[in-house]
Amino acid sequence: MIYRILFSAFVLIVIAFSCKKSVSGIDGVFLESEPYILDYGNTLAAPNLPADNPLTKAKVQLGRMLFYEKSLSGDNSMSCASCHNQANAFSDINQFSIGIDGLPGGRQAMAIVNMAWNSNGFFWDGRAATLREQSLKPIQDVLEMHETLPNVVVKLSAKTIYKDQFKRAFGTEEITSEKMSLAMEAFMFTLVSGNSKYDRFLAGLASLTPSEEHGRQLFFAEYNPGFPNLSGADCAHCHSGSNFENDQYMNNGLDIDANMLDDGYMNVTLNASDKAKFKVPTLRNIEVTFPYMHDGRLTTLEEVVDHYNTGIQSSSTVDPAILNTQFSGLMLNAQDKIDLVNFLKTLTDHSFLTDQRFSSPF
């Protein structure tokens, strides 16, 4: 009798597990709607998240599913993750990402890192005021995923896995593009990087090599042409604070006026003084987010340092502090440039690049 009871219990467990997998399709989809506690380490300040989109486990999981969902594209072949690879800090190593129709985009895909600390618009030109607004634009872009939001809603509504998860996240099975954007925003807010070697150095848990330390000093020291031995690279002028960015749009001297092919922030503000200004990106994980600049014209960190050292071009909208270095350069010698690059590599957060919480749930 005891064996019959145990066998019956085993059969019920197997049936229950099989049913769960057939409905969910992925592990971890059955999450309760309890708060998601954001872990931002010891060096980042608490972010100011939107009050109308509180983080919950179910909503973050839904956003994670949508981020990796290929049904968001017109031919079901491309997801957000297709152009935002975790190993590259959710950026694309191609100069321009290729959409479903084989057409290249016009700008280099930005890294998705510490979005919770950005409040002054998204994309290189700031055309999306919020992260939730940003999340829907690539879906509708004819050069990227080339799909419509109504079609996406239809496709997702045909899948039990999504109806179930939308209900867990929002209390109803109804799928809308607004709910999609809130879920994807929630997931992207959780993509927090704050465990680099430099973070551990600040916490007293790691030591910098002599080269990295000299690079750190150059990074934070101001440009001072009157005292070359004391002059630094002045990187913190733009890449400041714990997130190594200033949430602003700036012209960093890539082109003279006649060669400006991209109006940048001016497309949004319609102000000529914003021509060729682009979002200042975080330098966290900069080692793996190549190529660099809004158009991916520079392929290595060494080229980036060379640009700021001796390659600044004068234009009507270039930042004055950057323009100041045009004639004398930053006065960095060969070893200085090596050391600066070595310091920038200490901003790589290897745990972020491999964190299973951010990987595909499928």
Residues β-bridged to residue 277: 264
pLDDT attached to residue 324: 86
Distance CA 202, CA 224 (A): 26
Distance CA 191, CA 131 (A): 13
CATH architecture of 28-193+352-358: Orthogonal Bundle (1.10)
Average pLDDT in the 191-212 region?
97
pLDDT grade for 33, boundaries at 50, 70 and 90 = confident
Residues with Cβ within 8 Å of residue 269, at least 6 apart in sequence: none
Average pLDDT in the 5-26 region?
43
pLDDT attached to residue 26: 56
pLDDT grade for 14, boundaries at 50, 70 and 90 = very low
Tokens 């310091």 correspond to: 343
Distance CA 316, CA 332 (A): 26
* The three-state (H, E, C) secondary structure of 127-178, written as one string: CECCHHHHHHHHHHCCCCCCCCHHHHHHHHHCCHHHHHHHHHHHCCCCCCHH
Distance CA 178, CA 316 (A): 40
Sign for the pseudo-dihedral over CA of 343, 348, 351, 352: positive
Distances (CA, A) of 193 to 41, 359, 360: 8, 14, 18
Average pLDDT in the 153-168 region?
97
pLDDT attached to residue 226: 81
Residues serving a catalytic function are: 144
Indicate the fold that domain 197-346 takes in CATH. Cytochrome Bc1 Complex; Chain D, domain 2 (1.10.760)
Angle at which helix 160-170 crosses helix 2-24, to 10 degrees, equals 90
Residues with Cβ within 8 Å of residue 68, at least 6 apart in sequence: 79, 80, 81, 360, 361, 362
CB 144 within 8 Å of CB 63: no
CATH 1.10.760.10 occupies which residues in the chain? 28-193+352-358, 197-346
- Residue 301 host element (H or E): helix 301-310
pLDDT grade for 17, boundaries at 50, 70 and 90 = very low
236: left (phi over 0), alpha (psi -120 to 50) or beta: alpha
Residues with Cβ within 8 Å of residue 257, at least 6 apart in sequence: 315, 316
Give this prediction's pTM: 0.90
Average pLDDT in the 187-193 region?
98
- Condensed to tens digits (0 to 9), the pLDDT of residues 217-232 reads 999 999 888 888 888 9
Angle at which helix 160-170 crosses helix 177-189, to 10 degrees, equals 70
DSSP characters for 253-268? Answer: S-S-GGG----BTHHH
Angle at which helix 160-170 crosses helix 57-67, to 10 degrees, equals 140
Average pLDDT in the 82-99 region?
97
DSSP characters for 80-110? Answer: GGGTSBGGGTSB-SSSS-B-TTS-B-SSPPP
